[in-house]
Amino acid sequence: MKLTNNWNKFIYRLWSPVYDPLFDRVFVRGARRKSIDTLAPKSGERILIPGVGTGVDLPLLPGGVRVLGIDLSAGMLAQARRKLPLPGKEVELREGDVQIQQVEPGSFDAAILHLILSVAPDGAACFRETVRALRPGGRAVIFDKFRPEGGNLTAGRRLFNVFTMLIGTDITRRLSDLIPAARGQAAGASVRIVSDVPSLLGGAYRIVLVEKTA
């Protein structure tokens, strides 16, 4: 099975009523906060959140920011809208496909990619479009799960991925499959990796900060 937009729309409609209590508050709230601290958003900045989901990142942002959150799932966006308004923050939520151009190039200061590069059918396309949206010198933070760079894909991971794909996520992707800079390809790259630190589950999840260079 491969992830598709149609499948993600279906499965995340089912997840939307239970996502916050089942996943965020129990599992990843601390990691999301650390990721946003790594990004260090500032008042006055315009921030893009592809795959905004239920909007769990929105309360963690500082006052004075302007935010555009995009998500494929109407059900997840409905949950996000319940968190609005957030005093001191200008938030727009939009239904859309984060794999294709949604905004003007160079129109954002920063971006948050939390648990979306492993969910979008084409994670590399999602990352490229995010970078396209950033101004030169803009930055993006990634919090997601990736398989180790070295070695082959194990049979056990491949088998478990059959299950995880059914619930809307791919655990077989490597960071270097999505970001050329992670393969040390500095020449011609549009981003540089500023930091890459392990997070949850012994480093299976990572927090990666990148900066747009051109």
Q: Give the span between the Cα atoms of 146 and 136, in whole angstroms.
A: 27
Two tokens at 4? Answer: 């598709």
Is the confidence at residue 182, as pLDDT, over 70? no
pLDDT value at position 24? 72
**Taking residues 62-89, what's their average pLDDT?**
97
pLDDT interval class at 73 (50, 70, 90): very high
What local confidence, expressed as pLDDT, does residue 166 receive? 92
- Domain hosting residue 63, numbered range: 5-212
pLDDT for 10 equals 96
Question: pTM higher than 0.75, yes or no?
Answer: yes
- Tell me the C-alpha distance between 106 and 136, whole Å: 7
Token pair of 67, please?
A: 């935010």
Mark 140-172 as b/e (b = at least 16 C-beta within 10 Å).
Answer: bbbbbbbbeeeeeeeeeeeeebeebbeebbbbb
Return the H-helix or E-strand segment holding 180: none
Q: Residues 121-154: pLDDT tens digits?
A: 999 999 999 999 999 999 999 999 999 888 788 8
Alpha-carbon gap, residue 143 to 212, rounded angstroms: 17
Confidence of residue 202 (pLDDT cuts 50, 70, 90): confident
**Structural domain total, the chain:** 1
* pLDDT at 200 > cutoff 50: yes
Please report, for the domain that includes residue 175, its CATH number: 3.40.50.150
**Residue 25: band (very low, low, confident or very high) from pLDDT cuts 50, 70, 90:** low
| Sheet with 205-212, side-by-side order of all strands | 90-95, 66-71, 46-50, 108-114, 134-145, 205-212, 191-198
Check whether 67 has a pLDDT greater than 90. yes
Place of tokens 């129109």: 107
Q: What is the C-alpha radius of gyration for the chain, rounded to an integer number of angstroms? A: 16
pLDDT digits (tens, 9 = 90+) for 88-130: 999 999 999 999 999 999 999 999 999 999 999 999 999 999 9
Q: Which two tokens stand for residue 117?
A: 């590069």
Output the pLDDT for position 39.
98
38 phi, psi to nearest 5 deg:
-65, -40
CA–CA separation, 60 and 198 (whole Å): 21
The CA distance from 136 to 35, in Å, is: 21
What pLDDT is stored for residue 150 in this prediction? 81
